[in-house]
Amino acid sequence: MANNNLIPSPLTQRARSRPPKQHASNNPAVRLLMQEFQLLQREPNEGYQIKLLRNDNLFEWDVAIFGPPDTIYAGGYFRALIKFPPEYPFSPPAVRFVNKLWHPNIYDNGTVCISILHPASNDTRSGELPCERWNPTQNAHSVVMSIVSLLNEPNTSSPANVDAGIMYRRWKEHGDLEYERIVKEQVEASKLEAERDGVKVPTTVHEYCVRQGATTGAAGTDLKDAVVREGDYRYPTMDLCEDMDYAQDERENGSMEVSDGGENQGSLMQ
């Protein structure tokens, strides 16, 4: 007689295939990511929107990054996936753009190459200072804001995309418009994706810097188990929009020459 105990029922099989429910109390990384995600929901940010890639996974985020006004990326809608490691925040996340993005510090497959995403190291041969690399005081917000700044201030000394780096230098140093043409074509293509996704992309400094409406997680996301206290999580302030507001005021007053942005590469972009 066959032993039916050896044959799992369909109900048992389905139960085994379900991903385990993530409880904040079980895993420090889950607890921290839950806090960060909830805070970014309550404190929506200029320049990007977030949601979970899947309801049951706090380790993968879907981020929509908007091209900063007054740059060649203005009006762009660039989706990126952030994947956090189990050791977060002691190890950095990885970021990969879903859209095609021609940029010196973005590989052909969309992977972002930036110091803040590199693990801590004292290797002087890398050309990066230890303070520029990842450390546990960084978080998802500081990563995304660094990438936003990276768009218009790339590091061409050690590019991930060598051809884009050469083309960018020709654009800045000799006025060759090929780099600008490619980026603007990609921006236009991204606008169609934003339309399909029902996303309104900010196009002016005012729209960009006034905090966006609160974003939502994937439908059905349950984050009720997290206990978030303001003192438990540091929320870094970024000066990007303050600088943009100042620059616009100066231009309107006629007291500022518009820079092409080719100088003073940001230290985070090394």
Could you give the percent of the chain with pLDDT greater than 70? Answer: 64
pLDDT attached to residue 236 = 33
Q: How far apart are CA 38 and CA 59, in angstroms?
A: 14
Burial class (CB in 10 A: 0-12, 13-18, 19+), 171: buried
Q: Give the model's pLDDT for residue 187.
A: 97
* Residue 2 forms part of a structural domain: no
* Model confidence pLDDT, tens digit, residues 226-252: 333 333 323 333 444 555 554 455 555
Q: Reply yes or no on whether 241 is catalytic.
A: no
d(CA 225, CA 87): 21
The boundaries of the domain holding residue 80 are 21-211
- The CA distance from 259 to 263, in Å, is 8
Residue 79 pairs with which residues in a beta bridge? 64
Judged against a pLDDT cut of 70, whether residue 208 lies above it is answered with yes
210/75 Cα distance (integer angstroms):
15
Query: Of 113, 131, 209, 241, which is the active-site residue?
Result: 113
What integer pLDDT is reported at residue 27 of this predicted model? 86
- Examine the pLDDT at 216 and tell me if it is beyond 80: no
The answer to whether residue 268 is domain-embedded is: no
pTM: 0.69
Residues 29-80: tens digit of each pLDDT: 999 999 999 988 887 677 899 999 998 899 999 999 999 998 999 999 999 9
260 in a domain, yes or no? no
Number of domains forming the structure of the chain: 1
- The pLDDT assigned to 7 comes to 52
- C-beta separation of 53 from 80 below 8 A: no
- Does residue 212 carry a pLDDT above 80? no
Amino acid at 201: V
Asked whether residue 132 is domain-assigned, the answer is: yes
Q: Report which of 177, 141, 151 is spatially closest to residue 77, judged by C-alpha positions.
A: 151
